[in-house]
Amino acid sequence: MSIGPTLLPLFEQLGIYDELISMGKYLTHMTDYSETSNGLKPFPPMDMRPVEELSGYAYHILARPNLHALLLKLVPAHKIHFGHRVLNISENDDKAILTLSNNEIFEGDIIVGADGAYSTVRQRMYEQLKAKGELPKSDDEELPFSVTCLVGQTRVLDPKDFPIVAQPDCHFATHHGKDKPFSWHTFNTSQGTLCWTVLHHLSKTSSKAAMEQRFMETNNSEWGAHTAQDMCEETKGFPILLGDGKIGTMGDLFETTPAELITKVVLEEKVFDTWHYRRFVLMGDACHKMNPAGGHGAMTAMHDAIAIANLIYAMPTKTYSDVTKVFEDYYKERHPAAVESFNFSKQAGKRSEKSIIGAIITYIMTHLPMWLWRMFLARPLSFRPQVGFLPAIALKGTLAPVIPPSEQNARAVFLKTQEHQQAEAGTAALV
């Protein structure tokens, strides 16, 4: 995954910036390749370096499990419970109640559903709204998708066989298939591995429910244990660059990837309109699932987390009215941003499609003059939020960020609290 200027100020605040950067691979360029009968033809590379001047930060590519492990270390172990499923959410005496699959019950002031595209919290929340006739029709529809994805990460590779893993910077490559509805991506990591994805662009939009219905009718599951291997077999001959002019195939990566690290998934795309109800609220994929081609999925989810944390910090009381106000402010701030990221990601996804539109977008993106390319890069960089209740990180770069209302309010409360504490400390010293 890509981590860059829109998130790195947060990681500086959390004190893990240096460790995170050491785990990542510096991304200077992204290169598209068109498959031809003679191999792979490169497009002009897209230069990512101007973002450093604009924001003070660069883009870095790192393996998602490494970021997860790093963040996990920041949370006290007793606050995380693994191996449980949410069965139900309810309310009682101004408390939100969570019932788990082992019948364990937790109570709190709110429940935040950050539980993915098929969120149980969202499902239970929507059941309650639907029973009251208050659920929008669009929110009751299935998550659509038009792309299936094979994804994996190799074991540590020998640079003699795969020279690309020894390169100091990240080589992020997108390959466009010739006369086939596939595109595939590869990039090297700082751990000496290669991460890869293979995208199958379907001829029409589908949904998980439709797939399950076809399975029941044909007795041929799309998501059985064999399907990832079937897709590997189908795509193993796709060409890739291994570095130093060496040409390989996706099969070379499949053979060096542990079976447990190969997964076939669908890439759903949808922004829900209902994000909160009573003391329940959604964030991340639970309320907006985006095409990963835009690189906005994890970023947008973390921005949700920053916003709701800032709003909760500045919340005056835990009453139902104040909780409702916080959730309304959260939706007002984050829903338009999610829609913008969704549209950007959808357009980015079209770049990989085997279509006239995809070819046009790819050509334009790889042939922009530098002044226009800098404008394109600058567009998302203006939003670099920070946690308002932690010491602020000094602003960097030539492009001033937009400070969201949630951060402004939390910062004001934080500074006022600090002033009060300093005044109390001064009074105590005089006594």
3-state helix/strand/coil string of 295-338: CCHHHHHHHHHHHHHHHHHHCCCCCHHHHHHHHHHHHHHHHHHH
The Cα–Cα gap between 114 and 281 comes to 9
Q: Is 74 part of a structural domain of the chain?
A: no
Residue 233: both structure tokens together: 């077999």
The Cα–Cα gap between 48 and 51 comes to 6
* Strands in 93-217 per DSSP E: 95-100, 105-108, 111-113, 144-153, 170-176, 182-188, 194-207
Would the pLDDT of 204 be above 60? yes
DSSP secondary structure, 353-371, as one string = SSSHHHHHHHHHHTS--HH
The Cα–Cα gap between 276 and 287 comes to 10
Residues 8, 50, single domain; the answer is: yes
The pLDDT, as a whole number, for residue 226 is 54
Q: Is 303 part of a structural domain of the chain?
A: yes
The Cα–Cα gap between 100 and 116 comes to 17
The pLDDT, as a whole number, for residue 208 is 61
In this predicted model, what pLDDT tens digit does every residue of 405-422 receive, in sequence order? 999 999 999 999 998 888
DSSP secondary structure, 5-53, as one string = TTTHHHHHHTT-HHHHHHHSEEEEEEEEEEEETTEEEEPPPEE-THHHH
DSSP secondary structure, 194-231, as one string = EEEEEEEEEEEEEEHHHHHHHHHHHS--TTSTTHHHHH
Name the amino acid, one letter, at 164. I
Residues 243, 283, single domain; the answer is: no
Of 253, 268, 283, the residue at which a domain comes to its end is 268
Rounded to 5 degrees, what angle do the CA atoms 25, 30, 31 make? 130
Q: Is 310 part of a structural domain of the chain?
A: yes
In this predicted model, what pLDDT tens digit does every residue of 379-401 receive, in sequence order? 889 999 999 999 999 999 999 99
Q: What is the span of the domain harbouring residue 290?
A: 81-142+269-343
Would the pLDDT of 81 be above 60? yes
Q: Is 356 part of a structural domain of the chain?
A: no
CB neighbour list of residue 358: distance below 8 Å, 6 or more residues apart: 176, 350, 351, 352
In this predicted model, what pLDDT tens digit does every residue of 136-163 receive, in sequence order? 999 999 999 888 999 999 999 999 999 9
Residues 262, 316, single domain; the answer is: no
Residues 243, 258, single domain; the answer is: yes
Q: Look at the alpha carbons of 300, 305, 306, 308 in this order and tell me if their dihedral is positive or negative.
A: positive
In this predicted model, what pLDDT tens digit does every residue of 8-30 receive, in sequence order? 999 999 999 999 999 999 999 99
Would the pLDDT of 292 be above 90? no
Instruction: Map residue 282 onto helix, strand or coil.
Output: strand
Cα 185 to chain centroid distance, Å, stands at 17
Residues 264, 148, single domain; the answer is: yes
Q: Is 20 part of a structural domain of the chain?
A: yes
The pLDDT, as a whole number, for residue 38 is 86
The Cα–Cα gap between 65 and 239 comes to 27
The pLDDT, as a whole number, for residue 408 is 97
The pLDDT, as a whole number, for residue 209 is 58
Residues 285, 330, single domain; the answer is: yes
Q: Is 311 part of a structural domain of the chain?
A: yes
Q: Is 155 part of a structural domain of the chain?
A: yes
- CATH code: domain of residue 126: 3.50.50.60
The pLDDT, as a whole number, for residue 414 is 96
CB 306 within 8 Å of CB 382 = no
Residue 135: both structure tokens together: 């659920």
The pLDDT, as a whole number, for residue 429 is 64
Q: Within a 13 Å sphere around the CA of 241, how many CA atoms are in the beta-carbon half?
A: 22
Please report where in the chains the tokens 């100091």 appear, as a residue: 168
Residues 196, 260, single domain; the answer is: yes
The Cα–Cα gap between 304 and 383 comes to 12
Distances (CA, A) of 379 to 55, 362, 374: 11, 18, 9
Of 232, 249, 268, the residue at which a domain comes to its end is 268
Residues 281, 382, single domain; the answer is: no
CB neighbour list of residue 383: distance below 8 Å, 6 or more residues apart: 6, 303, 337, 401, 402, 404
Residues 134, 277, single domain; the answer is: yes
The Cα–Cα gap between 106 and 86 comes to 11
Of 224, 248, 268, the residue at which a domain comes to its end is 268
Q: For strand 111-113 and strand 246-249, is the pairing parallel, antiparallel, or unpaired?
A: unpaired
Name the amino acid, one letter, at 381. L
Helices 320-350 and 405-430, interaxial angle, to 10°? 130
The pLDDT, as a whole number, for residue 215 is 42
Residues 152, 225, single domain; the answer is: yes
Range 110-138 average pLDDT:
95
The number of folded domains in the chain is 3
Residue that wins the pLDDT comparison between 15 and 295: 15
Residue 315: both structure tokens together: 């919340």
The pLDDT, as a whole number, for residue 353 is 73
Residues 261, 290, single domain; the answer is: no
H or E segment at 266? strand 263-268
N-term to C-term CA, the chain: 55
Residues 292, 229, single domain; the answer is: no
Output the average pLDDT for the chain. Answer: 90
pTM over 0.85: yes
In this predicted model, what pLDDT tens digit does every residue of 39-74 receive, in sequence order? 899 999 999 999 999 999 999 998 888 899 999 999
The pLDDT, as a whole number, for residue 219 is 38
pLDDT > 70: what percent of the chain? 94
Q: Is 38 part of a structural domain of the chain?
A: yes
Residue that wins the pLDDT comparison between 89 and 357: 89
pLDDT > 90: what percent of the chain? 74
> How would you list the strands of the sheet with 86-92, edge to edge?
86-92, 95-100, 105-108
Would the pLDDT of 210 be above 90? no
In this predicted model, what pLDDT tens digit does every residue of 219-247 receive, in sequence order? 333 444 458 889 999 999 999 999 998 99
